[in-house]
Amino acid sequence: MTASPIPAASASAAPASAPAALLAVNAMSVNHGPVPAVVDVSIDVAPGEIVTVIGANGAGKSSLLNAIMGITPGSGEVTFAGTPIRRHPVEARARLGLALVPEKRELFSTMSVIDNLTLGGWTATPAERKRTLEEVLDRFPRLRERRTQMAKTMSGGERQMLAMGRALMSRPKLLMLDEPSLGLAPRIVGEIFRIIADLRASGVSILLVEQNAKAALNAADRAYVMELGAVILQGPAADLAADPRVAGIYLGV
Amino acid sequence: MDATILLFLVQDGLTNGAIYALLGFALVLLFTVTRTIFIPQGDFVAYGALTYALLRAGHLPGTVKLLAVFGATALAVELWSRRRDLTPGFIATQCATKLGVPLAIWAVVAVLGAAPRPVLLDLALTIAIVGPMGPYLYRIVFQPLGGATVLTLFIAAVAVHIALIALGLAFFGPEGQRAPALIATSLKLGPVVVSGQSLAVYATTILLTAALSAFFALTLRGKALHASAVNALGARLVGIDTHVSAKIAFALAATIGAVSGVLIVPMTTIYYDSGFVIGLKGFVAAIFGGLGSFIITGIAAFSVGIVEALASFFASSFKEIIVFSLIIPVLLVRSARSHHGDDEDH
Ligand SMILES: Nc1ncnc2c1ncn2[C@@H]1O[C@H](COP(=O)(O)OP(=O)(O)OP(=O)(O)O)[C@@H](O)[C@H]1O
Ligand SMILES: [Mg+2]
């Protein structure tokens, strides 16, 4: 962990994005009516990397992820695994190996845990689906215990695990998590971050949006800090964690 | 009134109720998957009835040409919406599914001509002609309205209904049609004589209900349809194309309509515009089920059928009024309940 000075790059000073980036977002802007939620944001994620986007409420983090997934329209180029996906609908992006666990989880509330997970493997072959289901149930023993329970009757932490499990069922190349610790007790948050670390060890790339900056910076390789829709800081997560500006604003130190 | 008459009325009611149940299921299916209150469901019944009756009589039904018109229109809409990234492969599949299918069906019906055929073959042809109209109509009218409110979709559905009536008149003419009974013999169960036609209706209803239940409970595609209904965004996030789900729902609804038409046309003369009132009775049943419950819809449909049969005996001129009045208490109860928060979640 080098204590090098932070490259306080502005969003327009395009970083040297490796040509092999798994996800490259270039000059993304998102407007909700007259409200600019994301302003000219460029980020990228390399294969095997955990990248986090942190920022206060309303900074535009969810809007950014939703635009990358194609849920809300945004201007700007998005390249995923070498394919420009600007014109792809959500389901086509999912089929390319892009997965999002959105802020509201969007589970199939009146369906069982197993049905939710099985549908998560919609794009896989039956054999693959079966194999991945076992892996996901091993990773989340809680879900195995509750396999026949209806999603809407589960606790917040269980729902989060189900949402992550459902996203993993497609064996995504990139897993995007929108505030996985939102509304969860500290013990469960610890469990979620342990799972994120596990996933990274198994080679899944992750784009993590968090308000819990400390935990996110701990888990990530690189980080972007957003404020009022723009990226105001970026760099290695360890460096940002040590940066007084980040500490002052987001860690509540 | 003696027991024989009562039994006869109940049997009559159950037979009609079975058909209303099928229509109610189609309406619930379409509403849950696409949020469309599908007023034209009854028009599929009339189309199915007239198509089957004409096929049975050895004629070429006008719906064969109408299907080609719908297919070509859907093709044009599809190609236009994708005009900026057309590939030869995409154009080829679109032409095959939207033009090739109707033309192939047309060819088959033309080749078969007026030669006498088994009932089941004419039933299959009727489904093949009317079934694809569902997804074509979805592509032409409802898919472009994606994300619209229930009210907008409802208004579009009313417009489709009016269009289908006009097209029905243009392609079938004003004459009514009636077909011979599906099963000519009848069954004597003690004092009750059950007509073969009624038996065909019961058997078909049971078969279709079982097939639909199995589809939703056992197949991944059925679960995907269910998932699209429960949470469309969630479905898209896992890679389910919700337009495909909607097209399947429309195909099932049109098929159910066509089959209902085949079941009904031996019992009563059907005109191009007869479907609406029949569909509306399925709608009454679906309202009982809150446009969400298949089981309640089924039970309500049989009740509607029986009430209608009794009403036609005791107060025949008030028959329709009595049936449609049934929904008023349901609507009152539902609207009173909906103020205390909806149990729906999205
Ligand atoms: N659908 C919408 N319509 C109008 N404004 C919206 C909409 N969604 C988001 N916004 C606005 O866009 C801005 C960014 O919102 P966004 O949800 O992306 O922030 P966020 O960083 O995810 O916040 P949080 O940490 O609270 O989840 C906010 O000002 C928000 O009010
Ligand atoms: Mg957010």
Name the residue range of residue B273's domain: 3-177+187-337
pLDDT of residue A6: 39
CA of A238 to the centre of ligand 2 (A): 23
Q: How far is CA B227 from CA A109, A127, B235, in A?
A: 9, 21, 6
- Judged by a CB distance cut-off of 8 A, whether residue B227 touches chain A is yes
> In this complex, is the C-beta atom of A110 within 8 Å of any C-beta atom belonging to chain B?
yes
Is B84 close to A99, i.e. CB distance below 8 A? no
Q: Give the Cβ contact number of residue A85 at 10 Å.
A: 19
Domain A21-97+172-238+247-253 fold:
Rossmann fold (3.40.50)
B343 in a structural domain: no
Is residue B253 in a domain? Answer: yes
Q: Does A108 touch chain B (CB under 8 A)?
A: yes
Residues of chain A in contact with residue B85, where contact means CB-CB under 8 angstroms, are 87
Q: How far apart are the C-alpha atoms of B206 and B22, rounded to whole Å?
A: 10
Whether the Cβ atoms of residue A26 and residue A43 lie closer than 8 Å to each other: no
Query: Using CB atoms, which residue from A111, A120, A169 is nearest to B226?
Result: A111
State whether the beta carbon of A57 lies less than 6 angstroms from ligand 1: yes
CATH 3.40.50.300 domain extents, chain A: 21-97+172-238+247-253
Residue B342 forms part of a structural domain: no
Full pLDDT tens readout for chain A, 253 residues: 333 333 444 333 444 444 578 999 999 999 998 889 999 999 999 999 999 999 888 899 999 999 999 999 999 899 999 999 998 999 999 999 999 999 999 999 999 999 999 999 999 999 999 999 999 999 999 999 999 999 999 998 899 999 999 999 999 999 999 999 888 888 888 888 988 988 888 888 999 999 888 889 989 999 999 999 999 999 999 888 888 877 766 655 4
d(CA A8, CA B206): 69
Of A28, A29, A30, A32, the residue with max ligand 1 atoms within 8 A of its CB, to mutate for a pocket test, comes to A32
- Whether residue A35 has its Cβ less than 6 Å from ligand 1: yes
Ligand nearest to the CA of A54: 1
For B58-78, letters b (16+ CB in 10 Å) and e give eeebbbbebbbebbbbbbebb
Task: Name the strand (E) or helix (H) holding B237.
Answer: helix B232-237
Interface of B with A in 259-278 (CB under 8 A): none
Q: How far is the CA of A196 from the centre of ligand 2 (A)?
A: 19
Neighbours of B150 (CB within 10 A): 12
Pick from A94, A109, A110: which is nearest to B237 by CB?
A: A94
Q: Rounded CA gap, A151 and A136, in Å?
A: 16
Q: For residue B231, give the nearest of A95, A108, A170 by CB distance.
A: A108
- pLDDT of res. B188: 84
Q: Kindly list the residues from chain B whose CB atom is less than 8 angstroms away from the CB atom of residue A115.
A: 223, 227
The alpha carbon of A64 and the centre of ligand 2 are apart by a number of angstroms equal to 9
Q: Does residue B203 fall inside a structural domain?
A: yes
pLDDT for the residue B192: 77
Round to whole Å and give the CA distance between B148 and B127: 30
Judge if the beta carbon of residue A104 lies within 6 A of ligand 1: no
Ligand 1: which residue has its CA nearest to atom 26? A57
Q: Which pLDDT does position A250 carry in this prediction?
A: 61
The reported pLDDT for the residue numbered A16 is 47
| Minimum-distance CB partner of B230 among A95, A109, A167 | A109
Atom of ligand 1 nearest to the CA of A59: 21
Distance from CA of A160 to the nearest CA of B (A): 14
Asked if residue B139 belongs to a domain, the reply is yes
Ligand 1 atom 4: the closest Cα is on which residue? A32
> A249 CB less than 6 Å from ligand 1?
no
Cβ distance A106 to B223 less than 8 Å, yes or no, reads no
Nearest CA owner, ligand 1 atom 2: A32
Quick one: which H or E segment has residue B62? none
Q: Which amino acid is at B80?
A: W
Domain count for chain B, please give it.
Answer: 1
Residue B182 is assigned to a structural domain of this protein: no
Question: With a 6 A CB cut-off, is A32 part of the ligand 1 pocket?
Answer: yes
User: Using a CB-CB distance cutoff of 8 angstroms, which residues of chain A are in contact with residue B143?
Assistant: none
Best CA proximity match to B68, nearest among B94, B110, B92, B98: B98
**Predicted pLDDT at B344:** 44
Task: Identify the pLDDT of residue B81.
Answer: 92
Q: Would the CB atoms of B227 and A94 count as touching at under 8 Å?
A: no
Label residue B151 left, alpha or beta by phi (over 0 means left) and psi (-120 to 50 means alpha). Answer: alpha
- Residue at B173 is within a domain: yes
Q: Given this model, what pLDDT does residue B177 score?
A: 92
| Residue ranges of B 59-118 with Cβ closer than 8 A to chain A | 84-85
Taking 70 as the pLDDT cut, the residues of chain B under it are 1, 338-346
Q: Could you tell me which of B9, B27, B12 has the C-alpha nearest to residue B281?
A: B27
The per-residue pLDDT for A231 is 94
What is the CA(A61)–ligand 2 centre distance, in A?
5
- Looking at ligand 1, which atom is closest to the CA of residue A61? 21
pTM of the model: 0.88
The question of ipTM being above 0.85 is answered as yes
CB contact under 8 A, B345 and A109: yes
**Burial (Cβ within 10 Å: 0-12, 13-18, ≥19) of residue B344:** exposed
